[in-house]
Amino acid sequence: MATSEVEICRNALLLLGDSEISSFDDEGDRVTLIANLWTNARDAVLRSHPWNCAIKRVALAPEATGPDFDYAYSFLLPGDWLRTLSVGLKGDAPAYEHENGRILMDDAVCYFRYVFRNENIATYDAMLVAALEAYMAMLAAYPITKSAAVQERMASLYEGQLKRARSIDGQEQPPEDFGDFPLLAVRR
């Protein structure tokens, strides 16, 4: 399994039938391309699903000044934030809004669960790594091969890898409990 971003990018190039790279400092347009694509590609794939290896929980403290109206407190999103998963404690759903890199709410503490920018590739699941390799290959396919057919094949490979990775990753969590719904109680 790949343990660095360079290994993931190297494998993506190999999927395209291209030669290997040893670092992002290697010479050549394809190395510049793949190095430039990496950060946004990693963040996009991490943001696409609540991967177990990229979830954090924090209690955010309010900013010194709150919003001008509607809510009492403003909480700055963490610097490594990619996607909000939940606000509030389990079973508690406080009213809030996500606005301009902040969470606005009336509670004095913001219990926040989110997908973070996990840069430690060694913590990634093998299926996530395979999806990242396919995504990088898809992004680099046309610029490197000049073939729309290869790009379509890489897009298909990515979709399949992503679907399998999400499925396996999701199976490692207990099923969500949606609680009691009046509509369901009436049907019984």
- The pLDDT of residue 63: 96
- The pLDDT of residue 175: 65
For 42, the token pair is 């990693």
Cα atoms found within 13 Å of the Cα of residue 104, Cβ hemisphere only: 13
**pTM (two decimals):** 0.87
Question: What does residue 145 show for φ and ψ, rounded to 5 degrees?
Answer: -100, -20
Which residues neighbour 147 within 8 Å (Cβ) at sequence distance 6 or greater? 141
- The pLDDT of residue 29: 92
Report the distance separating Cα 39 and Cα 62, nearest Å: 30
Strands 55-60 vs 110-116: parallel, antiparallel or unpaired: antiparallel
CA 188 from chain centre, in angstroms, equals: 39
Report the distance separating Cα 58 and Cα 129, nearest Å: 26
What digits encode the pLDDT tens for the residues 96-113?
A: 999 999 999 999 999 999
- The pLDDT of residue 3: 80
pLDDT > 80? residue 183: no
- The pLDDT of residue 91: 84
Model confidence at 122, in pLDDT bands (50, 70, 90)? very high
Q: Which residue has the tokens 């719904």?
A: 181
Report the distance separating Cα 84 and Cα 116, nearest Å: 9
Report the distance separating Cα 99 and Cα 101, nearest Å: 6
- The pLDDT of residue 120: 96
Average pLDDT over residues 165-171: 88
For 58, the token pair is 């924090």
What digits encode the pLDDT tens for the residues 53-79?
A: 999 999 999 999 999 999 999 999 999
Average pLDDT, the chain: 92
Report the distance separating Cα 31 and Cα 5, nearest Å: 12
Which residues neighbour 163 within 8 Å (Cβ) at sequence distance 6 or greater? none
Model confidence at 93, in pLDDT bands (50, 70, 90)? confident
pLDDT: which is higher, 174 or 71: 71
